[in-house]
Amino acid sequence: MTNTELTATSTALRIPRPASPYQGDIARYWDGEARPVNLRLGDVDGLYHHHYGIGEVDHAALGDPEDSTSEKKLIAELHRLESAQADVLLGNLGEIGADDTLVDAGCGRGGSMVMAHQRFGCKVEGVTLSAKQADFANGRAAELGLQDHVRARVCNMLATPFETGSVAASWNNESSMYVDLHDLFAEHSRMLEVGGRYVTITGCWNPRYGQPSKWVSQINAHFECNIHSRREYMRAMADNRLVPQTVIDLTPDTLPYWELRATSSLVTGIEEAFINSYRDGSFQYVLIAADRV
């Protein structure tokens, strides 16, 4: 067996059970992912995210487009916007104490977990299907001396190891489109304490449009995911004792990020689908914060 075969086999064995064939595909997808748009943005300050950004672009920070440092400044601005998105999510978790435990479901390379610990001083647990992402996140936490407070594990977010009612708050940041929402919210409802807060930021197709648009279909194909409708989120939360307290339409706030990204060297080919679907109303970017009752 070659080293390459051994590595592939070892990674496959770390896909958590129970896992569907689809989840196995997603684990392999993210184990093999190394997009510059994720890594180069994270290199700005060591916070590696797997979500998009919100807020107005600081054009003064971009400087002169003819300047030799303009691309570096553009990347820094994109990263500032994605960290701003994480800040908004964390700001909707409610009152969190240093003795609390938070769960990031679909934690990626761990940037939001580090931000959560820095903000609240609490323990943050992350779960991901990707062994590569978990290893990266744990390595980064160790570099920051946070290994006793921030941990990622290879785990199915639909069947986590956390005790019932043991979690103060939990979230999905652009990761809920990889799972069935009823199964997902049943698991969040189980692990959250009564009164605990769940937050998601996600793209969802707009029921008023009628059906997923061609742009939404392109996004699904690009990321091998299944984008849900806004109505599906509300229904699945209601069925699982999660009562929405805040719903924010972030669509106007995320368009500047996408329009700026489309001008960078980090384009992946999916920018047009996001921009057009946000503009025509077929796709929305929303934050939903719900309490466990």
CA 208/CA 273 separation, integer angstroms: 18
pLDDT at 7: 35
pLDDT of 18 reads 54
Contacts 24+ apart (CB under 8 A), 274-280: 274/203, 274/215, 274/219, 276/215, 277/213, 277/215, 277/216, 277/219, 278/251, 278/254, 279/255, 280/213, 280/215
Tokens for 71, please give them.
Answer: 């691309």
pLDDT digits (tens, 9 = 90+) for 241-287: 999 999 999 999 999 999 999 999 999 999 999 999 999 999 999 99
pLDDT digits (tens, 9 = 90+) for 211-230: 999 999 999 999 999 999 99
pLDDT level of residue 35 (50, 70, 90 thresholds): confident
> What's the pLDDT score for residue 66?
82
What pLDDT score does 292 carry? 98
Query: Residue 33 has what pLDDT?
Result: 87
Question: Given this structure, which CATH class describes domain 19-292?
Answer: alpha beta
Residue 2: per-residue pLDDT: 32
pTM as predicted: 0.93
Please give the structure tokens belonging to residue 167.
């979690």
- How do residues 73-84 score in pLDDT, each as one tens digit? 999 999 999 999
Alpha carbon distance 5, 182 (integer Å): 37
**Domain spans in the chain, listed from the N-terminal domain onward:** 19-292
Average pLDDT of span 124-137 = 96
Are 207 and 231 within 8 A, CB to CB?
yes
Do 151 and 125 contact (CB within 8 A), yes or no? yes
Top-ranked range on mean pLDDT: pick from 37-41, 63-67, 194-198: 194-198
Phi, psi at 148, each rounded to 5°: -85, -5
Distance (Å, whole) CA 25 – CA 8: 13
